[in-house]
Amino acid sequence: ADNMGAVMGQLMPRIKGRFDGGEANRIVREELG
């Protein structure tokens, strides 16, 4: 997904310390479908 980088960039500051990268990646994939 082309938006992956942008979405991750927005999410990382908010989820930092709560999820590891793999978990964040999974969440973003679910959000993007």
pLDDT in tens, 10-29: 877 777 667 677 877 788 78
Mean pLDDT score, 7-11: 77
2 three-state secondary structure = coil
Q: What tokens were used for 28?
A: 């973003």
Q: How far apart are CA 25 and CA 7, in angstroms?
A: 10
Spell out the domain ranges in the chain.
Answer: 1-33
pLDDT for the residue 28: 79
Mean pLDDT of the chain: 76
For the chain, the straight-line distance linking the first and the last C-alpha, in angstroms and rounded, comes to 10
Q: How far is CA 15 from CA 22, 31, in A?
A: 12, 14
Residue predicted with more confidence, 30 or 2: 30
Separation between Cα atoms, residue 30 and residue 11, nearest integer Å = 13
Residue 1 has pLDDT above 60, yes or no: no
**Res 17: pLDDT:** 67
